[in-house]
């Protein structure tokens, strides 16, 4: 069993709060691997350490902590589903995580489509502004300031 301070060294983190944040982000997946020790100290089993390492690798690969935890949760749900025998009762629990993942994928696709549309609008606006600014008949903005200044 590993303590928070030993996990900090194992995962290569700077503070124990970072370890606690990682544990909290996947607490539902990590729950079977967590124990309480003397003085209510949090202890993590070797399997839990492996899960935390996977989370840290996902985070180091460029994902945000919430994204990395969702990926790890999705992996654990699919592993749990594959070990469950098929019956009428388990069919409903098997589809629930997949439906949640499909909703997440659809919302991310919608967000990407919106952002692409927004980028296109902004690029068009920027190209139009540069065309207007390239007009040789247009005087620079500071020439109007020279008319208002009385230096005498």
pLDDT tens column, 44-98? 999 999 999 998 888 888 888 888 888 888 887 766 555 545 555 544 545 555 7
* Same structural domain, 2 and 30: yes
Average the pLDDT over 37-48 and give the result: 90
How many Cα atoms within 13 Å fall on the side-chain side of residue 4?
A: 16
Query: For residue 99, is pLDDT > 70?
Result: yes
Report yes or no on 146 lying in a domain. no
Sign of CA dihedral 10, 70, 33, 39: positive
Give the chain's domain count.
Answer: 2
Q: Is residue 40 part of a domain?
A: yes
When the pLDDT of each residue in the chain is averaged and rounded to a whole number, the result is 80
Report the C-alpha gap between 26 and 11 in whole angstroms: 15
Domain that holds residue 45: 1-83
Domain with residue 59: its CATH number is 1.10.1660.10
Tell whether 20 is covered by a domain: yes
Please check whether residue 149 lies inside any domain of the structure. no
Are 13 and 77 contained in the same domain? yes
User: How confident is the model over 106-112, as a mean pLDDT?
Assistant: 89
pTM confidence score:
0.52
Q: Cα(67)–Cα(10) distance, rounded to whole angstroms?
A: 22
145 occurs within a structural domain: no
Same-domain pairing of 98 and 79 = no
pLDDT at 97: 58
**Residues 151, 109: Cα–Cα separation, whole Å:** 60
Q: How far apart are CA 24 and CA 65, in angstroms?
A: 11
Which residue is it, tokens 């025998």? 85
Q: Where does 12-87 have alpha helices with state H?
A: 16-25, 27-30, 46-60, 65-83
Please tell me the chain's helix, strand, coil percentages from 3-state DSSP, rounded to the nearest 5: 75, 5, 20
Q: Kindly state whether residues 49 and 73 are assigned to the same domain.
A: yes
8 Å CB contact between 8 and 15 = yes
Instruction: Give the integer Cα–Cα distance in Å for 33 and 16.
Output: 18
76, part of any domain: yes
Q: Do residue 49 and residue 104 come from a single domain? A: no
Residue with more model confidence, 11 or 135: 11
- Please check the confidence at residue 134 and state whether its pLDDT lies above 80: no
Domain assignment present for residue 52? The answer is yes
């Amino acid at each position: 069993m590993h303590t928070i301070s030993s996990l900090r060294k194992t995962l290569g983190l700077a503070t124990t709060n970072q370890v606690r944040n990682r544990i909290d982000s996947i607490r539902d997946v990590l729950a079977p691997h967590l124990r309480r020790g003397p003085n209510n100290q949090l202890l993590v089993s070797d399997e839990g350490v492996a899960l935390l390492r996977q989370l840290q690798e996902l985070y180091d690969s460029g994902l945000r902590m919430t994204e990395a935890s969702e990926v790890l949760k999705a992996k654990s749900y699919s592993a749990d589903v594959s070990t469950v025998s098929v019956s009428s009762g388990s069919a409903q629990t098997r589809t629930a995580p997949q439906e949640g993942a499909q909703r997440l994928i659809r919302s991310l696709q919608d967000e990407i489509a919106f952002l692409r549309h927004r980028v296109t609008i902004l690029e068009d606006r920027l190209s139009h502004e540069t065309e207007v600014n390239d007009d040789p008949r247009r005087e620079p903005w500071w020439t109007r300031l020279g008319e208002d200044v009385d230096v005498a």
